[in-house]
Structure 1
Amino acid sequence: MHTDSTTFRGTIMNILCIGDSLTYGYGVGRSETWCALASQLTGHEFINKGVNGATTGEMAEQQLYGDEVLVMGGLNNFFMGMPVSVPLADIRSICERAVNLGIRPVVGIPMQISPNVSEAWCEGPIDMDIVRSAYAEFACALLQQCLNDGTEYIDFRPVIGPEYLSFDGIHLNRCGHEHMANAVAAHWNARRK
């Protein structure tokens, strides 16, 4: 198990990235995702296991492997009307399981969706004001949970603004993936210093 920053100097790591469409890279090519770009920027292997439409419960069922795991999700839970407590518990469970397997967990605090998201593309009636409010509450609560638990995190909220989202106001555009990759690379490269 990796226990301190010196372990990472000169070591190529396999970082499992589990999440939803924001990790998968909905709307861009495989070589344009933040996972692929972060691999190029760091020399580490960011293994993209994002699944379009996945909830955090589905993420929690994925097999964990590699040196580290980066987990980010939650939005699909709110599309389904789940309370904030559900993705918080799921992400904590993933992190605890990773630690027990000797894998270092890192949590992505998700960027927020645009205020202009269209409800037209969603299946069924969805109140985007409720979703947006729950997602913002979740991000704040997830950050506090990470601080309380001593879990590493990357806060993407100050990194990704509306200009880095695609036409739907939810998914990243190419520039958004580049900005995400830069933030991820900065986090991992800082350990080498």
Structure 2
Amino acid sequence: MIITCLGDSLTYGYGVGRPQTWCALASALTGHEFVNRGVNGALSDEIAAQPLGGDEVFALGGLNDLFMGREVRVPLEQMRLLCRRAADAGIRPTVGIPMQIAPGVDEAWCDGPVDIARVRAAYAAYADALLLQCRQDGVRTLDLRPVIQPCHLAFDGIHLNLEGHRCMAGAVAGIWPAAR
């Protein structure tokens, strides 16, 4: 089975080598092909506009929108559009409910300083709303909040470290068990 993985730096694997990303590790664990189409810094509309392919699609994104000051409704709408587009193409979508920013993070930069307290609150609200939206729309989810802990995040408290990629690959393998 081919699973196209769409997203931002959390999918791309910012900070680790290509063979160490959760997509590569999940491919090795399951025998399925997880095609990593993550783009560092991608906004949700850019993720939603990515070409689809494969048998299924896994989408994870939205944090960059919130860092850029967009309202929570924007990535919610874009994730819904992506899921509808996939379903219309006969491709089953699965949405990652994002892990949260580590508690100790009190500063972040994009094109300038970011109000991290605002982003943290918006990200938590986004994760809750995205889970509800997917349930209402009948879209399968992988809730990463109970899976990815602060110890799985890099020094910035946002991106996955190597152990985080391993943990995420294991969670993904639970959705797509080993090919026979």
TM-score by length of 1: 0.90
1:121 CA displacement: 4.2
Q: Does 1:37 align with 2:17?
A: no
1:119 CA displacement: 2.4
* CA offset digits 1:90-116 (Å, max 9, x no partner): 000000000110100000001001122
Q: Secondary structure of the residue that 1:171 maps to in structure 2?
A: coil
Asked if structure 2 preserves the Cα contact closer than 8 Å seen for 1:113 and 1:132, the reply is yes
CA spacing shift, 1:146–1:190, aligned 2, 3 Å: farther
1:122 CA displacement: 3.4
1:188 CA displacement: 1.0
Q: Secondary structure of the residue that 2:102 maps to in structure 1?
A: coil
1:117 CA displacement: 2.1
Counting aligned pairs with the same residue, the percent is: 63
In structure 2, runs of 5+ residues without a counterpart are: none
Distance in 2, matches of 1:40 and 1:155, equals 22
Asked if structure 2 preserves the Cα contact closer than 8 Å seen for 1:69 and 1:104, the reply is yes
Equivalent AA in structure 2 for residue 135 of structure 1: Y
Paired residue for 1:5?
A: none
Q: Secondary structure of the residue that 1:115 maps to in structure 2?
A: coil
Q: Secondary structure of the residue that 1:124 maps to in structure 2?
A: coil
Paired residue for 2:46?
A: 58
Paired residue for 1:142?
A: 130
1:61 CA displacement: 1.2
Q: Secondary structure of the residue that 1:189 maps to in structure 2?
A: coil
Equivalent AA in structure 1 for residue 90 of structure 2: G
Asked if structure 1 preserves the Cα contact closer than 8 Å seen for 2:108 and 2:114, the reply is no
What aligned pairs does 1:92-131 form with structure 2 within 5 A after superposition? 92-119=80-107, 121-131=109-119
Paired residue for 2:175?
A: 187
Distance in 2, matches of 1:190 and 1:120, equals 38
Q: State which structure, 1 or 2, has the greater radius of gyration over its C-alpha atoms.
A: 1
Distance in 2, matches of 1:40 and 1:191, equals 11
Q: Does 1:23 align with 2:49?
A: no
Q: Does 1:163 align with 2:117?
A: no
Asked if structure 2 preserves the Cα contact closer than 8 Å seen for 1:16 and 1:69, the reply is yes
Deviation >6 Å, runs of 4+: none
TM-score by length of 2: 0.96
* CA offset digits 1:74-94 (Å, max 9, x no partner): 000001111111000000000
Asked if structure 2 preserves the Cα contact closer than 8 Å seen for 1:159 and 1:179, the reply is yes
CA spacing shift, 1:84–1:121, aligned 2, 3 Å: closer
Q: Does 1:68 align with 2:56?
A: yes
Aligned length: 180
CA spacing shift, 1:106–1:191, aligned 2, 3 Å: farther
User: Cα RMSD (Å) of the superposition?
Assistant: 1.4
Distance in 2, matches of 1:29 and 1:170, equals 17
